Amino acid sequence: MEVRQRLENQQIDNEFLNEEKHSNDSHISSSSESESSDDEKLHEKSSILIQSNWKKDQWNIILLLFLYLLQGIPLGMAASIPLIIQTHGASWSQQAIFSFAFWPFSLKLLWAPIVDALYLKRFGRRKSWLIPVQYVIGFVMIILSYYINDILDDPTPTSTGHHSRIYFLTSIFFGLSFLAATQDICVDGWALSMLSKENLGWASTCNSVGQTAGYFLANVVFLTLESKDFANRYVRQLLNLELQSTGLITLSGFLLFCGIIFTISTTLVALFKHEIDETYDSNEPHFGLIKTYHVLLKVLRLPSIKSMAIILLTIKIGFCAVDSMTGIELLERGVTKDSLALLAIPLTPLEILLPFFISKYTTGKKPLNIFANSHPFRLLLGIIIALFVYFTPSFQNYNKTFPWYYYALAILIISIQQIFVYSMFVSQMAFFAQVSDPKIGGTYMTLLNTLTNLGSSWISTAVLYSADFLTWKKCTLSDDRCRTPAEEKNCALLGGICRPYIDPYYISVTISTIAGIIWIIWKYGTMMRLQDLPISSWKVQNDNQKNKPLSTID
């Protein structure tokens, strides 16, 4: 479930690239809205005449696919770590600490203007950031590969009771996510100048396909090949090889391999790929560093945006427990991490096709109707998933494996859930496209997507933290409670194990679902009023225009 959420957030960023690309092809109007409208009509007419010729840019398209694939690797690897540390005995609060590693993509708007504005002209606007960023990613992976096993096995507690390995791992992968987010900013911008005008539509395709492929390799493929159970049962046993205690690959080996690939490929790009000078590109709006932040502040002051921000920052409260905790809870119930990873394989084509089927229902004037109406069904699916998790042990065979129909049922339930997830996602993106001010389309969409991603990040971290407070454990030998690390240590010295007698997962899902019901009652009317507002309510006015007060939305 957690992997599905990461991909959903990344697809939001991919959709944004389309909007930014179109906004960069149109001129910024400096006076009235009618001028902006005329520019948009001219742009539409001209774009019809331009036909895509991918062969003209085939090597640039291949390069973009590869750069986006590299970007997906640290993201997929970061998404694998929660499952790995869970097998090393991580607590819910430790999972919460590591969840901060996913925050950079939710906050990249804060430094994106800096990446766009500051660069070495002789080296290239995008390469000035891309080359050092990818080198650092590669070097960090190579160095980490020599220490990762010791870090995972580190039993040394800190003064707060958490193992020091969690803080170190979080810092490392937060840094890798930060660098990947910066690389995303660079490649998104470079794609607009690397591709010819008739092939700009390939930019978002390269983003989606490349990033998903990198994520898939570093998450699904890695977790599967790293599993000793998968290697022994499906590879070594079939080939009459000696069974071993490790998988076909190790985390340290995979980190070393990826680090070398990053280093070599970055060197090749630095030496052989040259940038086109964007300085005199009149079609691209260059706000400058200070102006960009000024525009963002003006957008945030709009009453409509303030109300939308509250919705985006709180909408996930009803789904947070299921999205953030289900994968970890299934591990506790006996499902192996490679089995969880393999579930993503049949779901990936579904996730690619669903937006195309759903988009035809979200092209009307009120896309938020689907967004709001999908909310209760997603809450219901959360309850069904929690029940499925509860009965998971009853499916388990005597040899601790699960029959094929268990996984078939899991895929069916998750597939139905994804229908409502993507119904909300596509309708939300359709609404963003409708209300975004065409004068600052790229900046506007980035802000809305940042709020969306941040709404997922903070709630996920909060629910994982709270799970520890909802956990009650007892020692299997002495029947004493295990409330502190010292009490857990005493239980272990006696030869016992601290087992939960009250599981926080079901409490969290219950509280989250109730909160989701309250949320839809609280904000349903607000969403309906927001989409009924005139477009002028969403536009940033010029400094020489008088601000007209909007009616209260809430």
What DSSP letter does each residue of 131-156 carry, written as one string? HHHHHHHHHHHHHHHTTHHHHHT---
The burial class, CB within 10 Å (0-12 / 13-18 / 19+), for 369 is middle
The residues, ordered by sequence, that sit 6+ positions from 98 with a Cβ below 8 Å of its Cβ are 81, 82, 85, 90, 166, 169, 170, 173
| C-alpha–C-alpha distance, residues 409 and 413, integer Å | 6
**What are residue 472's DSSP bridge partners?**
502
| CB neighbours of residue 142 within 10 Å | 17
SS (HEC) of 252-268: HHHHHHHHHHHHHHHHH
* Residue 388 and residue 44 in contact, taking contact as beta carbons nearer than 8 Å: no
pTM value > 0.85: no
Question: Which H helix or E strand runs over 502?
Answer: strand 498-502
Whose structure tokens read 């000078």? 277
| CB neighbours of residue 402 within 10 Å | 18
Among 86, 125, 257, 258, smallest CA distance to 180 is for 258
**Domain range annotation of the chain:** 2-26+57-276+300-532
The residues, ordered by sequence, that sit 6+ positions from 307 with a Cβ below 8 Å of its Cβ are 526, 530, 553, 554
| CB neighbours of residue 40 within 10 Å | 16
**What are residue 500's DSSP bridge partners?**
473
Question: Which H helix or E strand runs over 269?
Answer: helix 251-272
| C-alpha–C-alpha distance, residues 384 and 40, integer Å | 46
Residue 3 has pLDDT above 50, yes or no: no
Residue 40 has pLDDT above 90, yes or no: no
The residues, ordered by sequence, that sit 6+ positions from 283 with a Cβ below 8 Å of its Cβ are 24, 25, 26, 27
| C-alpha–C-alpha distance, residues 485 and 84, integer Å | 21
Name the percent of the chain lying above pLDDT 70: 83
Tell me the average pLDDT of the chain.
Answer: 82
| C-alpha–C-alpha distance, residues 40 and 438, integer Å | 8
Single-letter amino acid code for the residue at 551: S
SS3 273: coil
Whose structure tokens read 């890798």? 176
**Phi-psi label, residue 184: left if phi above 0, alpha if psi -120 to 50, beta otherwise:** alpha
Cα 22 to its chain centre, rounded Å, is 23
| C-alpha–C-alpha distance, residues 16 and 220, integer Å | 25
* pLDDT tens-digit map of 271-310: 988 887 655 444 445 567 888 888 888 889 999 999 999 9
Residue 114 has pLDDT above 70, yes or no: yes
Name the percent of the chain lying above pLDDT 90: 43
| C-alpha–C-alpha distance, residues 437 and 325, integer Å | 37
The burial class, CB within 10 Å (0-12 / 13-18 / 19+), for 266 is buried
Evaluate whether the domain defined by 2-26+57-276+300-532 bears CATH number 1.20.1250.20.
Answer: yes
**Phi-psi label, residue 437: left if phi above 0, alpha if psi -120 to 50, beta otherwise:** beta
The b/e string for 378-387 (b: 16+ C-beta within 10 A; e otherwise) is bbebbeebbe
Residue 102 has pLDDT above 90, yes or no: yes
Q: What is the pLDDT of residue 417?
A: 93
Instruction: Average the pLDDT over 164-182 and give the result.
Output: 93
* Helix 2-24 vs helix 164-194: crossing angle, to nearest 10: 30
pLDDT band at 327 (very low <50, low <70, confident <90, very high): very high
Q: What is the pLDDT of residue 459?
A: 95
Q: What is the pLDDT of residue 472?
A: 80
| C-alpha–C-alpha distance, residues 439 and 19, integer Å | 12
Residue 218 has pLDDT above 70, yes or no: yes
